[in-house]
Amino acid sequence: QRRGVVSVPCLPYLPVVGSLLHLRSSLPPHLLFTQLAGRYGSLFGLYMGPHYTLVVSEVSLVREVLLQRGREFAGRPKMVTTDLLTQGGKDIAFADYSLLWKNHRRLVQSSFTLLVFNSSYQPNDPELLKVLDYNDGIVQTIVRGGLVDIFPWLKVTLTPGEPRDLLDALLIGKMKGSGGDDDITDDHVLMTAAEAFGAGVETTSTTLLWAIAFLLHHPQVQERVQAELDEVLGRDRPPALSDRSSLPFLESVICEVMRIRPVSPILIPHVAMQDTSLGGHSVPKGTRVLVNMWAIHHDPKHWEEADTFRPERFLDSSGKRVTPASFLPFGAGPRVCVGESLARLELFLFVSRLLQKFNFSVPSGRSLPDLQGRYGVVLQPHHYTVRVTPRY
């Protein structure tokens, strides 16, 4: 037992493997952790190999980690996969807390609008295809990371010259050292741009897929959004950002989608940068913290019929938008999503224009989308088929 953490319930653990044997499950991590929280409580510990890790599943504790003690918990663990993908944390999401990271983050945040709206591509533009390909490589690599992040010595299973995939290629490139022709400096240059795509495109487009999936299950919600759009915009005027406050039901549908299926059900791991405390328990420096946002968004103490899709929960009795304290799809505090306002803006423009112009339905003979989802870097819906017809 480490000093100071004895009072937090902890999963059994063994030398070297830690608690991994107790984490074997067919459930995806957010559901497994939610189940374990039922047994061990809303704050419990486990060992990911040698790494002591706290799992947090209660909103007041989450707010303590992200906001009240946000600065103390703003570190990121050093992991083999992300270290390679980001050239030792030269990105934002996986870089440890430092002055450099803070300046980098500020710079990127302030240039997003310019960066995102500055250029456009035609479908199949070779440059666009290359970027999409690279993005896909990153997604697959992080999914495959798993064990090598817990036991870095697994790297030795590599055969130099015979990379099996992008992860191997990056590892081999790194092992060769710097300065050589095979060095991965091009990837290095791509880090920040790749992250804007990796963290930005995958999350936003997946949220859009979830939105359509839930609208197919709830055609009456689709009709109500369309009635609101018809009243505010009419048939032809494209939605503008200034319309957001006049479309509270549409905005509440987007929120309910992000609540019921958060694309990032477990936040990127945080790390205690100093000895600190959480919920009155002392937490040693270096402790990893996993925030289970799925558990927060489905907590029956805070959400009535949490498993039911009900956008009205984001409206008050006079129909105005409200934001419950247990709704944190972008995280909060120093590590809050850099792209939050951009993502909200994109989702508003996409959903409003699509529903103004089209009806979404299930093609005859096909079944409704499966709403279970599959867990990767983001929580995605299984593939489904949708019929899109112009409204007029």
Of the candidates 228, 294, 235, 231, the one whose C-alpha atom is nearest the C-alpha of residue 262 is 294
Interface region with ligand HEM, contact rule CB under 6 A, candidates 23-31, 43-51, 130-138, 336-344: 336-344
Q: Which is nearer to ligand HEM, 73 or 309 (CB)?
A: 73
Q: Which is nearer to ligand HEM, 221 or 338 (CB)?
A: 338
Alpha-carbon distance 392 to 389, whole Å? 9
**Taking the complex as a whole, how short is the minimal distance between the CB of residue 338 and ligand HEM, in angstroms?**
4
Among 45, 239, 311, 339, binds ligand HEM (CB under 6 A): 339
Alpha-carbon distance 147 to 247, whole Å? 46
Among 330, 352, 355, 377, binds ligand HEM (CB under 6 A): 330
Burial class, 253, CB count within 10 angstroms (exposed 0-12 / middle 13-18 / buried 19+):
buried
195 counts as binding ligand HEM under rule CB under 6 A: yes
Interface region with ligand HEM, contact rule CB under 6 A, candidates 2-10, 82-90, 140-148, 264-272: 264-272
Among 85, 172, 215, 267, binds ligand HEM (CB under 6 A): 267
Of the candidates 226, 206, 237, 242, the one whose C-alpha atom is nearest the C-alpha of residue 343 is 206
Distances (CA, A) of 250 to 58, 83, 287, 324, 339: 28, 39, 40, 17, 20
Q: 190, 285 in Cβ contact below 8 A?
A: no
268 counts as binding ligand HEM under rule CB under 6 A: yes
Alpha-carbon distance 375 to 363, whole Å? 26
Q: Which is nearer to ligand HEM, 359 or 380 (CB)?
A: 380
Single-letter amino acid code for the residue at 137? G
**Taking the complex as a whole, how short is the minimal distance between the CB of residue 207 and ligand HEM, in angstroms?**
4
345 counts as binding ligand HEM under rule CB under 6 A: no
Hey, CA dihedral for 238, 243, 246, 252, is it positive or negative? Answer: positive
Among 70, 75, 200, 248, binds ligand HEM (CB under 6 A): 200
264 counts as binding ligand HEM under rule CB under 6 A: yes
128 counts as binding ligand HEM under rule CB under 6 A: no
Alpha-carbon distance 83 to 90, whole Å? 9
335 counts as binding ligand HEM under rule CB under 6 A: yes
Of the candidates 200, 217, 253, 216, the one whose C-alpha atom is nearest the C-alpha of residue 378 is 200
For ligand HEM, the binding residues (CB under 6 A) are 92-93, 105, 195-196, 199-200, 203-204, 207, 263-264, 267-268, 329-331, 335, 337-339, 342-343
